Amino acid sequence: MRLGLRKDPDWEYVGALLAHEDDDAQAAFFKGFVKEVNTFDTRHQTEMQLISVSNKLTDAEKETLSAISFREEP
Domains in the chain: boundaries: 23-68
- CA-CA distance, 14 to 26, in Å (whole number)? 12
- CA-CA distance, 6 to 24, in Å (whole number)? 25
- For residue 19, give every residue at least 6 positions away whose Cβ sits within 8 Å of its Cβ, in sequence order, or none: 26
Q: What is the pLDDT of residues 21-51, one digit of tens each?
A: 999 999 999 999 999 999 999 999 999 999 9
pLDDT of res. 9? 85
Nearest 5 degrees, angle CA 13-CA 18-CA 10?
Answer: 20
Q: Considering the entire predicted model, what is its pTM?
A: 0.81
Asked whether 18 and 25 are in contact (CB, 8 A), the reply is: yes
